[in-house]
């Protein structure tokens, strides 16, 4: 079993200001948003626990909020895409 990696991501174009995600063996162990719609974001974070990185990307990428061209879920997918490309900040 691999070690949990914690990554941080600064969302762009959303109300949330920071995102932290824990990943171990290709699965989400935890996620937390700073700012944004806390009820909805807490729900999303709880729902993705145990999901694979690829499944979260597939389900959340491209979701639009209020005509912004992105959303907090989309920014979570972007964070995970950067993680897969090894272009992220480790905590």
pLDDT per position as a tens digit, 18-49: 999 999 999 999 999 999 999 999 999 999 99
Position 75 confidence tier, pLDDT thresholds 50, 70, 90: very high
Q: What is the mean pLDDT of the chain?
A: 94
Residue 27 belongs to what H/E stretch? strand 27-35
Q: How many domains does the chain have?
A: 1
**Tokens representing 22?**
């824990």
- Please check the confidence at residue 72 and state whether its pLDDT lies above 70: yes
CA distance 68 to 75: 12
Q: For a pLDDT cut of 90, what percent of the chain falls above it?
A: 90
Q: Which domain holds residue 13?
A: 5-90
Position 89 confidence tier, pLDDT thresholds 50, 70, 90: low
CATH of the domain at 20: 3.30.390
């Amino acid at each position: 079993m691999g070690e949990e990696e914690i990554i941080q991501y600064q969302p762009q174009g959303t109300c949330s200001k920071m995102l932290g995600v824990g990943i171990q063996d290709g699965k989400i162990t935890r996620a937390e948003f700073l700012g944004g719609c806390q009820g909805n974001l807490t729900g999303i974070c709880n729902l993705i626990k145990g999901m694979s990185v690829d499944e979260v990307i597939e389900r959340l990428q491209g979701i639009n909020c209020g005509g912004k061209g992105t959303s907090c879920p989309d920014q979570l997918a972007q964070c995970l895409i950067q993680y897969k490309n090894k272009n992220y900040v480790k905590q």
